[in-house]
Structure 1
């Protein structure tokens, strides 16, 4: 998998002057567009589109300073911009200064280094997981649109849960009818970039059957239908909330590259049991997955 990802990085480098389609990168890495975006942002720590923009402006910046014989419009066209204005905006967003001023003053520019993915063998711990084939179901509860936070508590989610009220939480909990049991946190409609600050739909609710058994009991609640499929279920135990956030990271940076599965579109479900006055948590994370097709390599490659 890492070898294929590095081939995708080479593809980016050889097409910086052109429009780069995620479909072409995913095809090079022999995975889906959805999984490629997820894998890249988890491994690189930066959204794919942002990395491409930084690399493009890094190389363009070298030409702006190193080739005074080329006009700025020539450089802009060389890197896929039809107008000098669009190029200048992108250049300033990365370097904090316009290309014309950078050339006149010999300014210090920012450089996004090329990414190469390597396997680091740590071997100190194993990830506990199981695979579950699950039929169609629903998530029922309360929903809010919240920002994505990579590390530390998410104040928007905490405030949303506090706003629900004990009686309504008990009413929602009573609707639990499938695994994972009890109240769960569900993340859906995440931005493909997974960039911090982008928004997602967060459900605080329960997993139940595909058809309401008592529609009156669900009055006023939000419902999310989820199709049948395969789920990878991961468990961990540690400091809250850091251990949970590290679990998400480890799934995409360690488990997926080592196993013949890819993520597929769908909600991610987190079941948490807090203890030691909320300082620690035992967690179970459900990620929708599918078997990854690994085509045979061409002879000589």
Structure 2
């Protein structure tokens, strides 16, 4: 419940600053997590990005002001809600409402309204969610690291998916696999050698680290790779059902969504700094994935 309260306080901050500057790091601070983690949780829970939510809310309020009793000038409304010119405002307004700001002044015009979001516990079906809690000591992983912007911008590779795509195409994943050695005894032996690790160190308020990684063991060859020490943590682990490759995206997205919307709000735990693994494996001739989230008791 405390986790939901923090998320609602973050939305309170955003709502209070829709006509001013919204500092995402401040919203994340209110939610007691990193900027990357906050935006990621928000997207999984609401099915809309934080940036899109802010855009919709601002344009909803802008439309109300253009139709109010004391009609505001279009340029004043545009500047109030963060647009540098009437042209950019009109373009965004039309994309959302289907009419221009000037047309919105007319009586009887149909507009769209997006209300403020609130995070609540909802009663859903009784579908079981398989998970296990495991406490693991410190261990090391090594691999290919990328630093990414939370909004997907910046130079170079824009997303972790692009890092995977490039590394598969140029043979880097195969080379990392050959350098991995045996799997350690504290993980399922049905897992592959190469996995993914996210948010294992602080790289700034608007970026996050992501690594294609393997477990470091005695037989591993780590030269030329980034090595990371993972501290001792309690991990909540969510295994998927075996699935064909064409259902991988749907499967992993469902696991993430159920963690954030069903398990985390009621379990009495919180995620530790967004630290998580995506573990890939094969079972029954099909693919499967385990999501590991570092957690602690609230």
Which residue does 1:218 correspond to in 2? 222
Change (3 A) 1:188 1:6: closer
**Within-5 A mapping of 1:30-41:** 31-34=32-35, 35-41=37-43
Change (3 A) 1:162 1:62: same
Q: Indicate the SS of the match to 1:99.
A: coil
Change (3 A) 1:168 1:40: closer
Q: Does the 8 Å CA contact 2:144/2:211 hold for their aligned counterparts?
A: no
Unaligned runs of 5+ in 1: 149-153, 193-197, 293-301
Q: Does the 8 Å CA contact 2:274/2:294 hold for their aligned counterparts?
A: yes
Change (3 A) 1:237 1:12: closer
Q: Indicate the SS of the match to 1:118.
A: coil
Q: Deviations over 1:117-140 (max 9, x none)?
A: 332233331431214243252223
Tell me if 1:284 matches 2:296.
no
Which residue does 2:119 correspond to in 1? 117
Deviation of residue 170 (structure 1)? Answer: 5.2
Deviation of residue 108 (structure 1)? Answer: 4.3
Deviation of residue 65 (structure 1)? Answer: 3.6
Partner Cα distance (1:142, 1:119) in 2: 36
Tell me if 1:255 matches 2:263.
yes
Partner Cα distance (2:17, 2:282) in 1: 49
Q: Indicate the SS of the match to 2:215.
A: strand
Which residue does 1:6 correspond to in 2? 8
Partner Cα distance (2:146, 2:27) in 1: 34
Q: Does the 8 Å CA contact 2:66/2:101 hold for their aligned counterparts?
A: yes
Which residue does 2:216 correspond to in 1? 208
Q: TM-score, normalised by structure 1?
A: 0.69
Q: Deviations over 1:175-213 (max 9, x none)?
A: 6457446513204369x9xxxxx998451x41116xxx6
Q: Does the 8 Å CA contact 1:146/1:157 hold for their aligned counterparts?
A: no
Q: TM-score, normalised by structure 2?
A: 0.69
Tell me if 1:46 matches 2:56.
no
Which residue does 2:151 correspond to in 1? none
Q: Indicate the SS of the match to 1:206.
A: strand
Q: Indicate the SS of the match to 1:218.
A: coil
Aligned CA-pair RMSD: 4.1
Partner Cα distance (1:158, 1:120) in 2: 37
Deviation of residue 61 (structure 1)? Answer: 1.6
Deviation of residue 40 (structure 1)? Answer: 1.8
Q: Does the 8 Å CA contact 1:143/1:222 hold for their aligned counterparts?
A: no
Deviation of residue 112 (structure 1)? Answer: 2.2
Question: Aligned pairs, how many?
Answer: 272
Change (3 A) 1:158 1:93: same
Q: Does the 8 Å CA contact 2:167/2:173 hold for their aligned counterparts?
A: no
Which residue does 1:161 correspond to in 2? 168
Deviation of residue 55 (structure 1)? Answer: 0.5
Q: Does the 8 Å CA contact 1:73/1:84 hold for their aligned counterparts?
A: yes
Partner Cα distance (1:178, 1:141) in 2: 23
Q: Does the 8 Å CA contact 1:65/1:106 hold for their aligned counterparts?
A: no
Which residue does 2:77 correspond to in 1? 75
Partner Cα distance (1:237, 1:107) in 2: 48
Which residue does 1:174 correspond to in 2? 181
